[in-house]
């Protein structure tokens, strides 16, 4: 999840996610909601079986996922998987390799909370035998 400058996010005091998701239309898409020096919040949607990136990690940031719509799986390095569904909160400490993928039945919508929001590369992609296809 790359750096988002303050000017690149909505930064609204309040926001109706249901309306915004409807306005954004069918996936895939990525919408920065909040960006400051300390954190960024990004709303993402992928198609069934879709993932925004292969397994990766954030060497300087922590990431929290909140699942808004759909089902899927969170895959950790080594092939450990967790099924995800609306209302789930997932925490990825610095350096934990992970990816998130929609189920084959429906698209997946989630919010990512990443801290800090540094203007520096924060994601290293790792391709190996445990990466999803």
Predicted confidence (pLDDT) at residue 68 exceeds the cutoff of 80: yes
Note the pLDDT tens digit of each residue in 89-115.
999 999 899 999 999 999 999 999 999
Share of the chain above pLDDT 70, in %: 89
Q: Which domains does the chain have, with CATH numbers?
A: 6-125 (2.60.120.10)
User: What does the pLDDT read at residue 119?
Assistant: 78
Beta strands in the chain (DSSP E): 29-35, 40-46, 56-57, 62-69, 72-76, 81-84, 89-92, 98-102, 108-115, 124-125
Q: Is the pLDDT of residue 122 over 70?
A: no
Q: What is the pTM of this model?
A: 0.89
Identify the pLDDT of residue 2.
Answer: 79
pLDDT of residue 124: 63
Q: How do residues 15-36 score in pLDDT, each as one tens digit?
A: 999 999 999 999 999 999 999 9
Report whether pLDDT(57) > 90.
no
- Quote the pLDDT of residue 126: 52
Q: Residue written as tokens 């919010």? A: 111
User: Bridge-partner residues for 114, per DSSP?
Assistant: 40, 63
Query: Which position has the higher pLDDT, 9 or 118?
Result: 9
Question: For a pLDDT cut of 90, what percent of the chain falls above it?
Answer: 76
Rounded to whole angstroms, how far apart are CA atoms 41 and 115? 9
The SS3 of residue 127 is: coil
pLDDT at 123: 67
């Amino acid at each position: 999840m790359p750096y988002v400058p303050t000017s690149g996010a909505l930064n609204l005091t309040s926001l109706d996610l249901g309306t915004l998701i409807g306005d954004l239309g069918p996936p895939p898409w990525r919408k920065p909601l909040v960006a400051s020096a300390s954190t960024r919040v990004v709303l993402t949607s992928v198609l069934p079986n879709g993932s925004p990136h292969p397994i990766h990690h954030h060497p300087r940031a922590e990431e929290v996922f909140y699942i808004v719509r759909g089902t899927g799986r969170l895959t950790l390095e080594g092939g450990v998987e967790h099924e995800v569904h609306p209302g789930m909160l997932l925490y990825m400490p610095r350096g934990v390799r992970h990816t998130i993928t929609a189920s084959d039945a429906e698209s997946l919508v989630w919010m990512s909370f990443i801290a800090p929001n540094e203007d520096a590369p924060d994601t290293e992609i790792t391709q190996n035998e445990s990466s999803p296809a």
